[in-house]
Amino acid sequence: EKMYTQIKQLDPNHPAYQVLYQIGILEKYFDVTDVLGTDPYPVGSADLTKTSSNTQITMASTHGAKGVWMVPQLMDWAVYHEDRTPHPPSLDEMRNQSYQAIINGATGLIFYSYYDMMYEKYPRGDSTKNMVLFNKRWADASSMAHEIDGIIPAVLHGSKVPLALPANAQIEAGALQYNNELLIMLANPYYQEEKITFALPAGWKIKDADQGE
């Protein structure tokens, strides 16, 4: 509380941002930050669902009164732990985390972390630095960021449109209305094919169908 008060006094023109992984105590930070975030880092686990669950919990803890900027994973857990199998996040895994966070209400993404992308295994140091790998990963990260950049106006200024999703939906789905268009976002957090069927919101119909991978 003292730190937050001091920061606001010294620099009232910028928001204070807290990032936590202690999901169970997020509400304790409600009065000591302007923007709240959590860092799920799901890549290397059985699936990527932790991004959605963490975003939902973070959103709930802010009660609609604070910004939520999530922290998607760019680093490889094997850089920190000798017993982990190397698994640097792929382009699809980075995109998937981003869309999961946005679908569930995040309006900011702070990716972690640039410098760890230079290393391919534990421990971090010159002997494990791989700039060929970094250049490939950086190209993927840039491609993903460019794509997300294209929907920023809808994320920041659009209005959320409810989707009538089936109760057992395995796919994260969300819709934003912006400039008389409906942006529908889908993210499958599992490492196998999943299906989802739902009706478009009333008054909307498909004009163009443009689907990537």
Sorting pLDDT into bands at 50, 70 and 90, what band is 208?
A: confident
What is the pTM assigned to this prediction? 0.95
> What distance in Å separates the CA atoms of residue 130 and residue 166, rounded to the nearest whole number?
45
d(CA 68, CA 17): 9
What whole-number distance in Å separates Cα of residue 173 and Cα of residue 99?
9
User: Which backbone phi and psi does 129 adopt, to 5 degrees?
Assistant: -80, 135
What is the distance between the alpha carbons of residues 156 and 179, in angstroms, rounded to a whole number? 12
DSSP 102: H
Q: Convert the pLDDT of each residue in 15-46 to its tens digit.
A: 999 999 999 999 999 999 999 999 999 999 99
| pLDDT confidence bin for 197, thresholds 50/70/90 | very high
The torsion angles phi and psi of 164, rounded to 5 degrees, stand at: -85, 85
Q: How far apart are CA 39 and CA 110, in angstroms?
A: 9
Closest CA to 74 of 150, 151, 22, 133: 133
Integer Cα distance of 68 and 58 in angstroms: 7
pLDDT digits (tens, 9 = 90+) for 91-116: 999 999 999 999 999 999 999 999 99
Closest to 94 measured CA to CA, from 17, 154, 41, 46: 41
